[in-house]
Structure 1
């Protein structure tokens, strides 16, 4: 069964976006401003801790052909890495 997109606000810029549940735990967002990216459920719960620079990191990764993944590491810091 393929997950259907749901309307949602982008956790980075609050624009109207779509999200689809993504494995293993999280979502894939498609935002008209930020582009497409994955975000873990943990990072989504801590969205106030995501730095403004994350949008630029996502753009940079997209320019190199990657989809970004936003997650929280063991030290509770936000990471933006290639998915």
Structure 2
């Protein structure tokens, strides 16, 4: 499967995305880097906190592939899987 052009849901920059199992996408953004995001979190784009960009960068600096998801408490950004 080839990447498709899309705007980054975190910062709005031109990015690429690939469909990722089970339900979501892997984005590659020139500003934020690579991260996974669930379809549920994409549907809640206005609910993504302004600090998400920095949280993603911090996790990437420690070698993680961040995972953005929607939980009962709101949007969460976790280390995800390497």
**TM-score normalized with structure 1 length:** 0.93
Say whether residues 1:82 and 2:79 are aligned partners.
Answer: yes
Alignment coverage as a number of residue pairs: 80
Match for residue 46 of structure 2 among 45, 48, 54: 48
Tell me how far 1:82 sits from its aligned partner.
Answer: 1.1
1:55-70, aligned counterparts within 5 Å?
A: 55-70=53-68
In structure 1, runs of 5+ residues without a counterpart are none
Give the TM-score normalised by the residue count of structure 2: 0.94
Structure 2, unmatched stretches of 5+, are none
Aligned-residue CA RMSD (Å)? 0.7
Q: Which runs of 4+ in 1 moved over 3 A?
A: none
